[in-house]
Structures are given as structure tokens and as C-alpha cells.
Chain A
Amino acid sequence: MDELSIKDTYTALGLSDFEYDRILELMERPPNFLELSLFSVMWSEHCGYKNSRPLLSRFPNDGPRVLQGPGENAGVVEVGDGWALAFKVESHNHPSAVEPYEGAATGVGGIVRDILAMGARPVAVLDSLRFGPLDEERNRYLFREVVRGIGGYGNAVGVPTVGGEVEFDRSYSGNPLVNAMCVGLIRTEDLMSAKATGEGNLVVLIGSKTGRDGIHGATFASDELSEESESRRSNVQVGDPFAEKMAIECCLKLLEGNLLVSLQDLGAAGITSSASEMAAKGGVGIEIETDKVPLRESGMEPWEIMISESQERMLAIVEPDDIEKVLALTERYGLVGVVVGRVAGHGELRVIHDGEVVGGVSAGHLADAPTYEREVVRPKYLDEIPKVNLNKLPEPDDFNEVLLKLLGSPNLRSRHSIYEQYDHEVQTNTVVRPGADAAVMRIKGTKRGFAATIDGRGRHCYLDPRGGGAATVAEAYGNLSCVGAEPVAVTDCLNFGSPEKPDGYFQLAECIEGMAEACEVFGTPVVSGNVSLFNETDRGAIFPTPVVGMVGIFEDVSRHATPRFKREGDMAVALGGVGSEGVSLAGSEYLSVVHGEGSGSPPEVNLAVEKKVSDLVRGMVRSGLIDTAHDISGGGEVVAVAEMALAGGVGFEYEEEEVGRMVEGQGRGRADLAFFGEESGGFVIAFPEEKWDDVQEALGVDGIAYDTIGEVGGDRFKVGNFIDLPLSEMKEAYERDLFE
């Protein structure tokens, strides 16, 4: 290759001049095309974390329950009784924008394999989704197909999808976010690592055949490609949940028989990333014979085989003595099971084709992508966000109408039309099904259980990146506390625009800062995560949307709470609300839905108080004092209480005096602010009246603000002279199908 075409080639592969020079320096010779391909995929943002690695080091990631922090396929925390949970969240934004069904489906497939690679049985999936407004046909299509794809895959592999969240905002038009989280259950002594060891051990490919899936850059070196091969090349990956189900059962059987030295899933960058990561972790080399890889298509080149992203494949290291048993099991499960290489002492990822070495790069070098640190500059837009001017905001005259409008708005409406497309009960562990603040799962054979939630607050992070980052963690912490689980650790997915633009980099750095602070205060270390940058279209960047997945544990899972009002006559109490300024309409759903505005800076989160309130609520659930709790989030207190009534199918009546107190107190004279204003750290709980003394005692110790607000009963929802609606009418608005 002459110099010009070299530059063309590495540029087309996405490497910068600086990076190419770095490669020359590391290799001490020019790489051939295959080697360049290996670098290009491993040094991509997706695999190399070039822009985020330095920032990510800000997260705390250690704690008493952490068995595995970042660095393996998933984080792992200890539950007790010898059990541990492996969990992680991952994005599939770009593939889902191109082909929503398959993009979402393969997103689920990928995260399930990460959990499997830890040796854990996948027991729960959650999804976090963002789309543009549903008044655009394309957004409706993306939404419908993404949800179908998640269900199509998760339902078939037999892992229940037990929770998730979805939000609609213009900033996601054309750039939907599809994040999937998986939780797996494992005995602590069975934890697997992706570390390759033992010179002479065999590398075994398990699962499906390899095709040209996901091979990018059909643009480069196009003079070498005929038109026909061009048209066969495809970025679109198609999922095969059936093969994945077989791979799950097969790998778990292999692990049960102690037949594997280590295990790794094949994700982005296929064999290249799996093999080089396994080698780098073990400080060894790996040789791959590309001609041994079973192919789905003819004529694939070694470099294509090395970087193919065909789904439903795993890579295992096996001792030679065990290989027969391993291959017999892969055959029993109808899977590809082939020795494609071996562990070697040379420290390289070496590619061999038909007996000839066709390339070799130090595994350490592949794993060591250069990183970029940028200056953090506060963007101008933050100073230009208009403040909410209450004087210019007319108070509504019909609060019934406002409540119905809020309950029916796409961001607040019931998600039943989504989660009814997901099998959420397979495996028979689901104690609290979707619709509550967090999913609650039991661990069979013990009294223990766990809860999981996933939350994101894009608009808040846009209006105040650091505060929004903290609020995202706080929301997850609050959601777990509501159901009664002790929050233990976090996985996160950082969905942002371009870090190469100052605004994007600032948002990334600041959100991480806010999240890290919150994680420190809450004692919930980050044990795994994923980064998705460059979420931009010609319409601009998405809202900065860090998504937080959090798991919590129960010593006694029968002691849990749900938001649903359970008994006529129960008393309800609102507590917490921790901002120094009280509730606010800034950035609220009310402002957006009723007044069409997304302005103002949402109230700051007081992390220490937030923790105190959440812990208090959890304490009451754990002691069996209450079984009904809900956090106050989008839509404010009245919407939260309305949701509790709707979930229970029973009415509610606010106390007359309380309504007055609310309007004068937190509303500063305005009912809309009092009812629909938002702030972090507020909860509503309900309990039978005879428990009031005990509840009061529990509430008293901490000196936290609380108020009795009213009584459960009847079939209407009443808030003083402001709101009086039959539950049935609210239900109609709230439960309207999101896909209509």
C-alpha cells in the first residue's frame, strides 16, 4: 500500500492519525490490513472507552458486598446464603435506530450473554427506553418494534422481563435509546472469569455459525470488493433467541460439570475483542485459526471472521482432557462447538489461516486504547434556560381536566401495554410484577430475594447535569427503598451526545460527578456499566441520559411493599420532600404537559436527607409496619396518590384541612404547584389506622416532615374542592394503550 492508501484505509476504519502513529510505535512495524482491523475495532469508542475511561474512574466501585467490580463481563454482589447476583446494563441505541426489532432483540441477547459469561443463570431483564414524541409516525414505529423485539427475544429465551421505563421527548426523535439490563443468579463459589490461563489449553467457540453480521466499514477498500460482495455485507444483526436459549442451557451444564477454565461472550468486535480481552486478563497469548470457525457464508476473509459480530456465540477456554465432554454437550444442545485455537505463551492475539500466521498483535496493546481527556467547559445554554415565571403561568380552572391530562400523558400513563407484551413470570420467581416501583424477585430455597429498578432522567440532566445525575441515582435508591429492598450496587449506561463537542463533554463529566457523589452518599458502588456516545442526529444531541440500574436485597422477601392501595379505610401519609426550596414546577411534567414548557432548573437533591427518608421508608416496610409505599416523582404528589388508587382499584379522599395546608404551604398559595410540583425524596405510604401510633413513632425519630393526607376508600378520587373524579374515568385516561 502506498502512503496515501494507507491513510485512506485507517481513516476509513475510523482511526485517527494520532492513533495510527501510536500503533506504529507499539508494533515497531507497519500493521497489515488484518492487524489494522483488529486495532480499529478494539480502539473504537465502544470497545476502547477512549472518551470516557478517565471520567469513569470517578465512580466508587468497592463495597462490603461487592464480589466483582467493573472489569469483568458483569458486576457481582453478594446476597447471603451463598448466593450472588451478577448484573449489567448495555445500550443498543444505534442498531435499534436502524432496525428496531432486531436491534432491541439483539440488545437483550447481548446482555443476557454477559451475565451467562459470569457463570450465572439469567433471571431477570429490565429495559430503559427513550423515543421521540408519539405524534410522529416514525417514532411510533420505533417504539412498537423495539418493544416487540425485546419481548420477542426475552420471552423466547425464557428470562422474564420484569421492569423498565420509557420516556418520550423530542430530543430522542431519530435517536431512540434502547438499554437492556440483565440480572443473573449464581452460587458465590461458581463465579467465572473471562481470564484465559494455561498454555496449551484450547479455545472453543460455542453457539451459532459465523456470518458477516455487523461488519462495518463496507466503505473502505472498496476497490477490493466486488459489487456483489458489497451487497452481501450487512450491518444488521438478526437475533436467534432459540440458539441463545440452547447456549444458556449448554454453558450452564458445562459450568456445572466444571469443564471450563473460563468463559466469555462474543459481543462487539466478535472473536477479536473476546479473545484479546481474555488473553490480556490472563497475561497470555491466544492463537485463533480462522479456517476452523464454522461459517454461514462462503468466502469470508480472516479479518471478517475475526471481527464478525454474529450473535449467540460464546468463547470458552477448556483443558485438553475435558474437550471431548465439552464437544459432546455442545452437540447435545444442537450447537456449534469447535476448537478454534489455543492459549499460548507469546502474549499476542495471533491469527492463523490454513496453517499460516496472517497477523499478530499484542493483546495488551489491543486492550490499551489511547484515551482523550478534554477540558470541561460550562455550556452557554445552561445560563440561557429561562426561569419558570409563576406570575406568567395561569392557574388552571379545571383541575379534574389537568389530572386526567397528566395521567393520560405518554410519560405518565400506565405502562401495562408495554409490559403485557413481556413474559414477566417465567421461572416463577417474580414476587412483585411490573407496575410497582421496582420488581421484586425471590431466590428459591431461601427466604431471600432481590429487587431491581432502572431509571433515567434525561430532561433533568439537560437542565442541570450534575443535579440530574445525582437525582437519577436517588430515584433508583428511592424506588428500591419503597419496595423494602436494601440497595446495594449500581450498573449504569451513559447515553450522551458527542464528547468531542464541549456541551457533550461537559454533560458527561458533570452527570458522572453527580452520580458518583450520590453513589458515595448512598453506599451503592458502581460495579458495571456501559457507555454510548455520539447519540446525535442532524436535529441535535439527545438529552444527556445516564441510566441507572440498581439492585437491592431482602433478607426476607415476604416483607415487601407495593404502591397499590390495599384496603378501604387505610390512612395515607406523605413524607419527606427534601429540597431546601420545596416543590417546584421547574422541569416538571405538569409544566411540560399542561403548559408545553421545559424550562427552569429542577430543585436540588439533598442526598443526605434523601437517604435518610428512603431508609426510613424501607425500615417501616422491613419491620412489617407498612405494605404500601410509593415515591413521588413525575407529576408530583397528587399524581403519585392517584397512581396508588388506580393500582389498587380503590378510591381516595384527601382531608379537607390537608388540602388547605398543601396549597398554602408547599404551594405558596397555588394549588397547581402544591399538587403537581416536583421534588426529590418524597414518599406516600398507607396503612391501617390501628398502626398509626406505631407509624408515628417510626416517623418521629428522624424528625422528617410528614403529613396525614387522607383516607383510602370508595370509587372516587377527591382532592378538596379541586378534584373529584370517578376512578373509572381516571382509569380510562391512565390505561389507554400506548400503541394506539
Chain B
Amino acid sequence: MNIGVTIFPGSNCDRDAMRAVELVGATPVQLWHADPDLKNVDAVIVPGGFSYGDYLRPGAIARFASVMGEVERFANAGGPVLGVCNGFQVLTEAHLLPGALLQNMNLRFVSKRVRVRVEARDTPWTAACESGEELMLPVAHNEGNYFADADTLARLEDESRVVLRYLENPNGSANDIAGVCNEARNVVGIMPHPERVSDDLLGSDEGLKILRSVLVGAGV
């Protein structure tokens, strides 16, 4: 299976994501922001970092990059897309996911490992997890405070589209939301970084379950 990883100017988790893709036995493919081509990948990861310096708003500029046009087409055709951290921000800016990620409530960057619960396993990025499973995942962001209006939140809950939920909310997110999916459930955005817990030497490899899920879903 080929998994594309987008690279915007300022992305800084692209190499980490590609390595994690390798670790689950898939083939990582670089998707340069200026190339309007997904190189026939089977899934796309929009990795973390500070695309375009996070200037203006995180994700605001990246969503216009050439490659994003293709990512949108791919997503709308049902292809599995995962946005991690800055990638989540890009996907909300691109309206592939609802809501917005505001500045952390205490106005500070937060970098630590937090416990989250897998709330929905019927997405391509959580299929390898147990339902209700608790994972310890790193977060590292300045704008991770998930916001959506009351109606949207109610819909997300009703339709079980909250994918990950914080057990200790590090940023003020509404409903402790750490990740959501779109209506068709193929596009998922999460703030925690699964690629960072990809090796026992780093304390755990729990994050690989997220990436392995997309292989399980594809029957690989």
C-alpha cells in the first residue's frame, strides 16, 4: 500500500510520518505542495508542523497549495485522509472537516503526552484500535482548542464522529475533542501525534495502531 505524505513549506513532521508509514509496512510517498498530483497513492497523511510558518492562521495558506486541490478530490471520492496536528488544522481550513482549532485556552504551546480514548473505530484510521481503547499520545501545538458551534457539536456527537477524546484536556477543546471525522468517515483529523509513539525506545509504539488501521481497512 502506498501512503502519501504532503509536504508544505514549514511542515516538520513529514519525515516522522513517512518513517512511521514504513514501520507499519506501507510505502511512504512524498507529495510536494506545488505538485498537483497524488502519484496514485492509496491514502494521504497531512502531517504536522508549521506550514507557511502558521502565519495568518495555522493551515490558512496551506489549504490553497496545489496539492490540496488533489487531496480534496481524493477525499471527496472516499479516499482515506488523515490530518495530524497542523494537518488537522489544514483540513478544517479546507472545509474537509467541520469546526476550527483555536489558540489553546491558556495561550501557551503545549507539548506533553496525554491520554485519549478511541471513541469511534469505524474510520480507516482507527479500525485497528479497540473501541473505547485508551492510548497515551503526544500533543505539541499552540492551536489545538477544538471549536464548533453547538449544532455542529451536537451532530458530531449524534453521528459518533468524535474519533478521539482527551481524558485530560490539554487545550480547552469543546467536549474534550481530540479528533473528528467527516460525514463519510474517510477523512479524520486529530491533534495528537501517533507517529511519535512508534517505537518502544521512545516509550511506546501505540501510535502505530492508528497508521496500521488504514492497512486493516484495505485488507492488507
Contact = CB atoms under 8 A, between A and B. Distances in A.
Interface of A: 148, 151-152, 155-158, 240-242, 245-246, 333-334, 416, 419-428, 430-431, 442, 444, 557-558
A422 B109 CA distance: 7
A242 B53 contact: yes
Given A158-B12, A246-B9, A334-B9, 16 more contacts: A148-B109, A155-B50, A155-B109, A156-B12, A156-B54, A158-B49, A240-B53, A242-B50, A242-B53, A245-B9, A245-B10, A420-B110, A420-B111, A421-B111, A427-B15, A557-B201
A241 B55 CA distance: 11
A334 B9 CA distance: 8
Interface stretch (B66-74, B91-99, B181-189, B190-198): B190-198
Interface in B138-197: 138, 140, 142, 193, 195-196
Contacts of B19: 428, 444
Contact of B198 (A155, A428, A430): A428
B150 to A, nearest CB: 31
B52 A242 contact: yes
Contacts of B39: none
B49 A431 contact: no
B201 A442 contact: yes
Nearest to A739: B108
Interface string B106-137: 00111110000000000000000000000000
Given A155-B140, A158-B49, A423-B111, A428 B54 contact: no
Q: Which 8 A/B pairs are nearest by Cβ-Cβ distance?
A: A158-B12, A242-B53, A156-B50, A423-B140, A428-B16, A421-B109, A425-B196, A423-B111
Contact of B112 (A158, A420, A442): A420
A270 B218 CA distance: 55
A208 B202 CA distance: 36
B: interface residue count bin: 20 to 34
Interface in B31-66: 48-50, 52-55
Contacts of B193: 425
A78 B49 CA distance: 31
Given A420-B110, A421-B110, A426 B13 contact: yes
B201 A431 contact: yes
27 contacts: A155-B50, A155-B109, A155-B140, A156-B50, A157-B12, A158-B12, A158-B49, A242-B10, A242-B50, A242-B52, A242-B53, A245-B9, A334-B9, A421-B109, A421-B110, A422-B109, A424-B111, A425-B111, A425-B138, A425-B140, A425-B196, A426-B16, A426-B196, A428-B19, A428-B202, A444-B19, A558-B201
A416 B108 CA distance: 13
B89 to A, nearest CB: 14
A245 B199 contact: no
Contacts of A151: 109
A268 B53 CA distance: 24
A245 B110 contact: no
A102 to B, nearest CB: 15
The prevalent SS among residues of B at the interface is mixed
A246 B53 CA distance: 10
Nearest to A245: B10
B50 A431 contact: no
Contacts of B201: 431, 442, 557-558
B9 to A, nearest CB: 6
B140 A426 contact: yes
A442 B49 CA distance: 21
Contacts of A421: 108-111
Nearest to B50: A156
Contacts of A241: 50, 53
Given A428-B199, A431-B202, A158 B54 contact: no
Of A334, A421, A422, A442, most buried by chain B (CB within 10 Å of CB) is A421
Contacts of A148: 108-109
Of A157, A334, A420, most buried by chain B (CB within 10 Å of CB) is A420
Contacts of B16: 426-428
Contacts of A333: 9
A430 B49 CA distance: 17
Nearest to A332: B34
Of A241, A245, A425, most buried by chain B (CB within 10 Å of CB) is A425
A720 B21 CA distance: 53
Contact of A156 (B20, B53, B202): B53
Given A428-B199, A430-B202, A431-B201, A422 B50 contact: no
Contacts of B198: 428
B68 to A, nearest CB: 17
A318 B109 CA distance: 40
B92 to A, nearest CB: 20
B10 A156 contact: yes
A155 B199 CA distance: 22
A423 B142 CA distance: 10
Nearest to B107: A148
Contacts of A152: 109
A557 B200 CA distance: 12
Nearest to A144: B108
Contact of B195 (A156, A420, A428, A557): A428
Nearest to A248: B12
Of A158, A241, A427, A428, most buried by chain B (CB within 10 Å of CB) is A428
A559 to B, nearest CB: 11
A370 B9 CA distance: 44
A444 B196 CA distance: 14
A423 B50 CA distance: 12
Contacts of B49: 158
Contacts of B138: 425
A416 B198 CA distance: 23
B13 A158 contact: yes
A157 B50 CA distance: 8
Contacts of A423: 109, 111, 140
